[in-house]
Structure 1
Amino acid sequence: MKNYQAYFIDLDGTMYRGTERVEGAAEFVQYLRKHQLPLLFLTNNSSRKQEQVAAKLMDMGIEAYPEDVFTTSMATASYIARHHANAKVFAVGEEGLVQALQDQGLELVDAGADYVVIGIDREISYEKLSKACLNVREGAALLSTNGDVAIPTERGMLPGNGAFTSVVSVSTGVEAVFIGKPHAEIMEQALAKMNLSKDEVLMIGDNYDTDILAGINAEMDTLMVETGVHRFEEISAYPKQPTYKVKTLQEWLS
């Protein structure tokens, strides 16, 4: 088994399911800390700020700090700022997305936007979707923090951001540019943040369509766990397989 210089770790379904900590999650992170192996929690969840994500993990007994967290909101805001400094943005999303956009000096507007950004929003409304569609029809570029159509929680699989994004795309006929896993943008930014090459980092996650494909697409090694979205038998016929498969992260350590 290869020794890696750092680890990208998914959250939903890998570290926790909703408010429940996943088996082996705390022990795995503790092992990395003990051996001074860098990690980055890489999440498609755009709703929370770095500090909030780290606090949630800490409350679950998983050692985490704000600088260990890289969200799709942060990657999306960086993408916009790089392509259009001081852009005007209409955002559908929660405080994590709003904060990330503001941190990049982007102006939040209701109309006349250069970009429309769709992030998970648990107070989604017809009016928010209407404003998104109107801005896109007036020429705004359409970005989505991620394409997850469903997300794992303690209640089961609930609607994800990809479901909201599809409403705007179908209504306007405009395809969204996706930033989060499995797309290249977030992976390239994360590698640059760690100042490491793709062969030095292992991508860990539970969702084949996001976490594992993100690693595969980035030509990175991947580790899939069976604690969230997908089971191994579901992906057994796929031509591209994870580098490693373990039921839980505890099994990886044993």
Structure 2
Amino acid sequence: MKYQTYLIDLDGTMYRGKDKIPEAKIFIDNLIDSGAEYYFLTNNTTKTPQQVADNLVNNHQITAHIDQIITPSLATAAYIQNMFDDDMENHSAYVIGEYGLKSAVFGTGIKLNEVNPDIVIVGLDYDVTYHKFELATLAIKRGAFFIGTNADTNLPNERGLVPGAGSVISLVETSTQQKAHYIGKPERDMIDFAAKAKGFDPKEAVMVGDNYNTDIKAGINANVDTLWVNTGVSTHEDIDNAPIKPTHQVESLDQWDV
């Protein structure tokens, strides 16, 4: 089947940390030659869309533009804007996360509040501390709405599988005895946000990724076809044991016939 739109994961699909995946560039070049549109759907909230695009271009020689980058940070910002029907400056949030998340959230106009915010948003934070967990826990216990950017327990990079945002969020879930409302993959929010923001038809799209529990499940949850590639987190055994199989499977993306 020929797809009009490709929704493509990054870590484990386009690259592994600082390490290149040579077949990824071939795949993107083939998409460009075919005229298909493509967007990168990453669960990484630590970088801004511009930083994500720059990394693809400068470090991996993969053609990418800022308007092709979809992050949970952007989807979270849109989500909280839809929560309120008045000025965002009338509301407040506390955020555990890096600049990519904070810039998107506070770019909405919502105010920072460490004591009694309306919302607590938790994502990957490379400098997370007990004090940050304490503030988040107490605020949620006081009634703040709890948002988690994404449930990734691990991230594939050049060193192996390191802790992801889900590991940080799970600590807050444990300390509050509350489940977060997740925005990123595998929730369908990311794909729904991308379709609305970019104007593509999900029925003519395919979700491409290495991680069954995030990328492939996101496609399944959004009723979008999926393409699993064996270059990252999930293994053939994982796929064999999955109750719902990916629509397509390849060992590397250069094998895919665009």
8 Å contact kept, 1:115–1:143: yes
8 Å contact kept, 1:23–1:249: no
Any runs of at least 4 consecutive aligned residues in structure 1 with deviations exceeding 2 A, and if so which? none
Residue by residue over 1:73-95, the C-alpha shift from the partner in whole angstroms, topping out at 9 and shown as x without a partner, is 11011101111251311000000
* AA partner of residue 100 (structure 2): G
Residue by residue over 1:55-84, the C-alpha shift from the partner in whole angstroms, topping out at 9 and shown as x without a partner, is 000011001111110101110111011112
Structure 2 residue aligned with 1:74: 74
Residues 82-231 of structure 1 mapped to structure 2, 5 A cutoff: 82-84=82-84, 85-86=87-88, 87-231=91-235
Q: Distance in 1 between matches of 2:198 and 2:185?
A: 17
Measured on the aligned residues, the alpha-carbon RMSD in Å equals 1.2
TM-score, length basis structure 1: 0.97
Report SS of the residue matched to 1:81: helix
Structure 1 residue aligned with 2:47: 48
TM-score, length basis structure 2: 0.95
8 Å contact kept, 1:8–1:42: yes
1:239 aligns with 2:235: no
After superposing the two structures, state which structure 1 stretch, 107-116 or 223-232, moved more.
Answer: 107-116
Q: Distance in 1 between matches of 2:243 and 2:180?
A: 27
Structure 2 residue aligned with 1:10: 9
TM-fit CA distance, 1:253: 4.0
- Structure 1 unpaired stretches of 5+: none
Residue by residue over 1:100-141, the C-alpha shift from the partner in whole angstroms, topping out at 9 and shown as x without a partner, is 112222222222210000011111111111111011011101
- Structure 2 unpaired stretches of 5+: none
Q: What percentage of residue pairs aligned between the two structures are identical?
A: 40
The alpha-carbon distance between structure 1 residues 36 and 108, as it changes in their structure 2 partners (threshold 3 A), is farther
TM-fit CA distance, 1:146: 0.2
Q: Distance in 1 between matches of 2:251 and 2:200?
A: 28
8 Å contact kept, 2:188–2:219: no
* AA partner of residue 46 (structure 1): T
Aligned length: 253
* AA partner of residue 119 (structure 1): G
* AA partner of residue 75 (structure 1): A
Residue by residue over 1:200-219, the C-alpha shift from the partner in whole angstroms, topping out at 9 and shown as x without a partner, is 10100000000000001111
Q: Distance in 2 between matches of 1:221 and 1:39?
A: 14
